[in-house]
Amino acid sequence: MKKHEQDLIAPEQYELHAAPAYDFSMNRRKFFSVLGSGVAVAFTASNSLGAALTDTSTAPEDQVNAWIHIGEKGNITVYTGKAEVGQNIRTSLAQIVAEELMVPVDRISMVMGDTALTPYDRGTLGSRSIPYMGPQLRKAAATARELLVNMATEQWKADRASLAVADGVVKNIKTGESIAYGGLTKGKELLKPVDDNVQVTPVDRWQVAGTSVPKVNGVSFVTGKHQYVSDMKLPGMLYGKILRAPAYGASLVSVDVSAAKKMKDVTVVHDGDFVGVAAPSPHAAGEALKAIKAEWKTTPQPSRGEIFDYLKQKSGQANGRDSNVKGDVDNAYASADIKIAQTFYIDYIAHAPLEPRAGLAEWKDDKLTVWTGTQRPFGVQEDLQQVFHIPKENIRVIQPDTGSGYGGKHTGEAGIEAARLARDAQKPVKVVWTREEEFTWAYFRPAGVIEVKAGATKDGIVTSWEFHNYNSGGSGIETPYNVASKKIQFHPVDSPLRQGSYRGLAATANVFARESVMNDLAIELKMDPLTFRLKNLTEQRMKDVLEAAAKAFGWNNMKPAQGHGFGIACGTEKGSFVATCAEVAIDNESKEVKVIRAVTAFECGAIINPTHLENQIQGSVIQGLGGALFERIDFKEGKILNPAFSRYRVPRFSDVPIVETVMLNRKDLPSVGAGETPILGIAPAVRNAIANATGKKLYTLPLAPNGVEV
Amino acid sequence: MELLINNKKYTVEPHQDESLLSVLRHQLDLTGSKYGCGEGACGACTVLINGTAVRSCMTKAESAAGKNITTIEGLEKNGKLHPVQQAFLKVDVFQCSYCASGMIMSAVSLLEKNPKPSTQDIMRSMQGNICRCGTHPRIVKAIQEASKV
C-alpha cells in the first residue's frame, strides 16, 4: 500500500471488509503441483494471461511507466486501478492527464480496474479518486511532459528554455523545429521516477481540467454497445445459478443433487455450503437448480419490528468506538437553558444498483480471469486468492465500466461463484444475480439507533452535545458546530443483516440526526435555523455553502405557502461541504410528502468537471430522497420481505423536485471527491421542512413511507 | 419461429414462456436491452413493438412473432444516431448509463406518439423507468431537446 493511501483510511470509516463467504478446497491438480514441486512458481500476470498492453503491473508505482504510456503515434494510455461505476471518474482523470500533457482529452485512453495492467489500488471508495488518484496522475503526467522536453533538448542539443509544448508536440521556438511525443518515445516505456516536486499546471491556467468535458465513450452507452459484465459472453460459456438459503443464518443440512447431475450438459457443484449449477442457457440452469432438493436449518433471527431494540441491546454499552469526549457533558447539559433529548431510528436500505452483481470467470490451466462489476478489483483478486488457495499472480480481475455501486459493490460475490462453477465445468461461466438476490444477499446501509442530548443557552449558543450511534457507523458523527462540552460515541453491533458501505456511509444517518436536533433547538429558541447554525459555526467553508444555498433558495425573503414548509441542513465529509434547502408540501388527501424544490450548495475545492459535478450533486439529492422519504428493507425471521422494485420504492420521475445546484469553485483549494457528500443535506432538510409545514417533528429514516398525519 | 428485429429476420427457438428479453440477450447477443428486475418495474429492458414501448422482460418471445421489434441497436440509421440518442449525448445525461437503453427507447416511443410533450407528459410517460443515479432532470431535458428536432 502506498503511503498516501494509508493516510486516508480515516478512523471513522466503516467500509465493509467482510471476508468472502466461501472457502473452497484446492482442486486436485493444484494440490499435487504444490506438494510435488514444493515451490509455487510465480510468474507475471501479463505474460501469463496474454493480451497485456504493456507490462505496467510489474513497473514500480513510483515510476512514470506504471501510470502512463505514450505510443509511437502519440496515443496516450493511462493506467489506474480505480473503477468507473458511473461517477464519471474515467472522464475527470483523463482531463487531469490531458491538462499536464497538453493534449486534447480524446488523445487519452484510460485502462482502469484491471489487476494485470494497472497499479494496485485499494478500491474506489471514500471519495478518494479525485483527491488521491488525481494528484498521482497529475504528477506522473507532468513528469512525463518534462521527460519529453528533456529528450527533445538532448536530441536537438537545444536550450531547454526555448522549448515549448502544445497539442502533444514539443517545439523549439527559436529554430522552428518540432517533434511529436510519439516521435520522442518511439513507443518505449518512460522509465523514470514520478517527480513529487514537478511543476504542475496552476488551476487558473487549466484549459482541459476545469471544463465540462462530456462523458468519455458516451456513444457506446447511448447505443447499447457498451458491454457490462452482465452482457459479456465467451465462446462455450455457461450460465451459472446458485442455490440460496431460505433465510439469513440458515445452514445446509442435506442436499440431493442427483437429479440435476443427470441433466444434459449441466455441471453441478456442491462444495461445503456452496451449491450451484452451470448450463448452456439460463433456462437450463434454472431447471437444474429447481431439480435440487435441499434441507436447511434456520436459526432465530430478528425481524424489522424489533431491530432497534435488538441493536441497542446487542451493542457494547461501554465507551464505544471513535469516542470523542470534551469537557463535562452531563454538567453542561444539566445547566443548559434549552434542552433536547431525542432518539432517532434508521432503517436498513438497499443500494439497488440497476445492474445487479455479475461475474464471468474463465480458467486456463491454473490461471483464473474474472470479469466483475466491483468497486474493488484488487480486493476481489485477494478474495479469490483466499477462497481458491492459489497465488495472486495467477488471478486477473478486470472491471469493465459497471452499472453503478453507490458503495454497494465493494465485494465480488458473483465473480467468486462464477469461478467456482467454471473450475468444475472447465468452461467459462457467467453468474448474474437476479434482482431478488441483489436485494437479499448483497449488503445494506446499516440500520441504526442514534441518541442525542443537546443543550443551549437562551442566547442560542450550543453548550452541550451528547451523541451515541448504535450500529450505523462513525462517518460524519463529529459535530462541525462549536460546543464546549461534548461526548460523541459510536457503538458497533453485530448486525443481523449483512451491512456495509453506502454513499456517504453512516454520515447519512449521523448528519440527519444532528441537523434535526439543530433545527429543533432553533425552534425552541425561536431563532431562524440558518442564523442559529451560523452563530455556532466557525468553519468558513461550511458557512459559505449554507449562505450560498440560502441565497439561491430565497431563505431570507420568502415565506412558505399554506401547507408548505422550508427546511435547511448542512454537512461535511471527506473534505467537502454541503448545504441543502428544501421546500415540501403535504398532500391534503393522501398525506404524502411532496418535495417541491431542493437547492444544494456544494464545495469540493477546485472543480475538475462542472457538468459532471452538477450531475453528481443532482443525483445524490435524488437518490437521497428515497432514503429520506420511503426506502426501507422489511424483513422477518431472516427473510427479506420486499426484494423487488415493485415492493421496494425508489425515487421515480414523479418524486423528483426542482433540483437546483450552486457549485462553489474554490480554485485555491485542492480538489476532493464529490460522489458522496452531496447526499447528506437532503434528508434532514426535508425533515426540517416537514416540521416547518406541519409542526410535526419526525425521528425516523425513512421519514414518511406512508405520508404524514397532520 | 421467426422474429423481425430491427428490420432483420431472426430464426429463434425460445423455450416455453421465454421472455423476449432473454431471447434478445442470450440467443441473439443483442445485449443493449438490459435486465434490471424481471417484473416490468424498472424499464431497463424496454423495446418497441410496432412502435410502442414494452417491457421485454414481461413479453413472451412467442407473442412478438410477426411484429416489428425495435431495440436500442436498431435506432442508429446509416451510421447516424437517432435524434433522441443525439440529444442524450448533447445533454451529457448519464452516470452509470445502465438505464440508458430503456430510457432512450421509452423516450423514442413517447415522441413518436406525442412529438411536443410537456414536462408533465414526459414525467408521466417515463415513470416506469428507474434511474438509480438520479439523472432524471437531465433525462427530461434531453427529451425536451429531442422534441425540438
Contact A222 B88 (CB under 8 A): yes
Contact B132 A352 (CB under 8 A): yes
Is A40 or B37 the better-scoring residue by pLDDT? B37
Interface of B with A in 69-128 (CB under 8 A): 71-73, 75-76, 81, 85, 88-89, 92, 94-101, 104, 122-124, 126-128
Task: Please name each of the domains of chain B with its CATH number.
Answer: 2-71 (3.10.20.30), 83-147 (1.10.150.120)
Q: How much is the pLDDT for A28?
A: 40
Q: How much is the pLDDT for A16?
A: 54
A701 near A513, Cβ under 8 Å? no
Over pLDDT 90: what percentage of chain A?
A: 89
* Nearest-neighbour CA in chain A from B80: distance (Å): 11
How far apart, in whole angstroms, are the C-alpha atoms of residue A354 and residue A619? 14
Nearest to A88 among B41, B88, B95 (CB): B95
Exposed / middle / buried, residue A306 (Cβ in 10 Å: 0-12, 13-18, 19+)? exposed
Contact A221 B140 (CB under 8 A): no
Mutate to test the interface with A, among B21, B130, B132 (most CBs of A within 10 A): B132
pLDDT tier at A59, thresholds 50, 70, 90: confident
Per residue in A181-235, pLDDT (tens digit) is: 999 999 899 999 999 999 999 999 999 999 999 999 999 999 999 999 999 999 9
Is A23 or A237 the better-scoring residue by pLDDT? A237
Q: What phi and psi, each to the nearest 5 degrees, are found at residue A9?
A: -85, 90
Q: Is the pLDDT of residue A15 over 80?
A: no
Residue ranges in chain B whose pLDDT is less than 70 = none
Q: What is the DSSP letter of A391?
A: -
- DSSP bridge partners of A178: A171
How far apart, in whole angstroms, are the C-alpha atoms of residue A103 and residue A558? 48
Q: Predicted ipTM?
A: 0.98
3 state DSSP class of A439: helix
Q: Which residues of A fall within a CB distance of 8 Å from B104?
A: 222
pLDDT tier at A323, thresholds 50, 70, 90: confident
Q: Is the pLDDT of residue A44 over 50?
A: no
How far apart, in whole angstroms, are the C-alpha atoms of residue A223 and residue B101? 7
* Nearest-neighbour CA in chain B from A220: distance (Å): 10
Q: How much is the pLDDT for A319?
A: 60
* Nearest-neighbour CA in chain B from A402: distance (Å): 7
Nearest to B97 among A226, A434, A612 (CB): A226
Closest by CA to A19, choosing from A376, A320, A360, A383, is A383
Q: Which residues of B fall within a CB distance of 8 Å from A407?
A: none
How far apart, in whole angstroms, are the C-alpha atoms of residue A629 and residue A651? 9
* Nearest-neighbour CA in chain B from A231: distance (Å): 6
Task: Please name each of the domains of chain A with its CATH number.
Answer: 51-201 (3.30.365.10), 229-298+357-432 (3.30.365.10), 305-349+444-701 (3.30.365.10)
E strands, A462-605, are: 462-470, 485-491, 564-573, 576-586, 593-603
Contact A222 B89 (CB under 8 A): yes
3 state DSSP class of A472: coil
Q: Is the peptide bond before A560 cis (omega within 30 degrees of 0)?
A: no
Per residue in B96-139, pLDDT (tens digit) is: 999 999 999 999 999 999 999 999 999 999 999 999 999 999 99
